[in-house]
Structure 1
């Protein structure tokens, strides 16, 4: 079964009157399909639990922890300095679990006259320094950018990796599904989504995934190239985090243990994500 999520959509597995076994997971849109898959299989062997999952972005998940509205925040970025300070001010001790790794894919319409792009050119495109594709493709088409809101971990990751401010003309979409829909209908559009999101439904997608070259002239790497990801050769790959308040740890431990189990790790790989440092967990 394939799942698509909008910001407010919540998926709940089971129902449970015992609040000590009712787990709320909020956050990263990049991780939401994976979280659903893990929760669905977790419930098969732990039917005493209920697991409610919603997306909306890494920032929303982290804010939910600060407000006491979640037990796990899925995030495709680390905590920023302000968030870290707020947790300390509120005296909320946080455990950090790195449970998978993902790559960010840059997508264009299937008919787009480009198969790869170097990092410097991508920087000029996404920052708005270039307004037309002519310098890159030879075709004078206006550049249309499909991105995420500032509370998105993927937005933050790309911005920091390229050391840019996104173009003011960039469209702010609610999630991966909206970006995919926008790009596939736009002959001059470019957007970014989690590669795991693409691989979750197979590689036959209505968009083209661009290969990325760190420097013009060097070999361009696809975010769908598993060997390259495992060798850390792709420029835009990153760990996926789960932030858990210490007060929720005992409640969620069974779910985290399931993620680390062979079954959980196999599910992570099968969903299009990667495990490079198995079971890495820090406090």
Structure 2
């Protein structure tokens, strides 16, 4: 009898330890930041809590999050109206926490010697649905460019990067030609562009920085709302000031209010906000001002759930504009 009681206690202890788990999924763009935070957290807590970080893309991750299958959602765009409705159906409420700023970099093959800059209008000509099966060479986009095959590499429809890029460039979310190489994994796009002389792709700026030897970065001349009429390269400064328009964007984590009742999730989220700026910079993303993380902590303390974006895309917002919106929640 003593043996069975002892065994039951051991099993109970193992079960309790196994339950100390934080489940995260979503954006491959946000993944490097969350992965870095998670490694630090597990080291700081000496493995007392296990953190799993999946990469289903922002759209794929929200499906799980709004079914209550995950505690935290990595997102490279705000939650949509459809996802908000799905969360309401499952009675999932959430905190929206901006954790860094990112830029979508336009990259070409290093052997491309004809393009140093590109306009938002030229990108639209390449990527809009009407281009499918028709715009197949660089010369068709700009008569000054060679009759080289245009090989495009972009995000999959589950990526928040896909949603943001199409909204910013095609001016309609999820509106894109379909005859391009799509991938959830940004590194697959890096490899693709590197292997095709006429290749062009869009990837998070941090992925460009870690693959500089394989890619050529192209400056972007933004649309009519861009503050600069000249080509602008993504840098920490041009993203912070809003000059790199319209391809600068905030990235987020969404935290289930219900999951915050679990001590391990609460502890992890608080740790994340304390470390976000440091970890974002470490993986070459752009940290937010200290006031942004302070506001996020206040939202948790005051239990201010919901989104400031009303389920709509907001392209080209500056950091100051984001802070004002979040402060008004």
- TM over 0.5, yes or no? yes
1:173 Cα offset (Å) = 1.6
1:256 Cα offset (Å) = 2.1
Q: Which runs of 5+ in 2 are unaligned?
A: 1-13, 300-304, 306-329
RMSD: 2.1
Count of aligned pairs: 265
Matches within 5 A, 1:122-271: 122-127=123-128, 128=131, 130-134=135-139, 135-136=141-142, 137-162=144-169, 163-164=171-172, 165-199=175-209, 201=210, 204-215=212-223, 218-223=229-234, 225-235=235-245, 236-250=247-261, 251-261=264-274, 263-271=275-283
Query: Residues 171, 188 of structure 1: CA spacing in aligned structure 2 closer, same or farther, 3 A cutoff?
Result: same
TM-score (norm 1): 0.86
Matched residue, 1:59 = 59
Matched residue, 2:28 = 29
Matched residue, 1:276 = 288
Query: Residues 16, 23 of structure 1: CA spacing in aligned structure 2 closer, same or farther, 3 A cutoff?
Result: farther
CA contact (8 A) 1:109 1:189 kept: yes
Query: Residues 83, 148 of structure 1: CA spacing in aligned structure 2 closer, same or farther, 3 A cutoff?
Result: same
Larger Rg belongs to: 2
CA contact (8 A) 2:187 2:207 kept: no
CA contact (8 A) 2:33 2:276 kept: no
More helix by share: 2
CA contact (8 A) 1:147 1:155 kept: yes
Farther-moved stretch of structure 1 (21-30 vs 241-250)? 241-250
More strand by share: 1
Q: Which runs of 5+ in 1 are unaligned?
A: 1-14
- For the residue of structure 2 that corresponds to 1:55, the secondary structure is coil
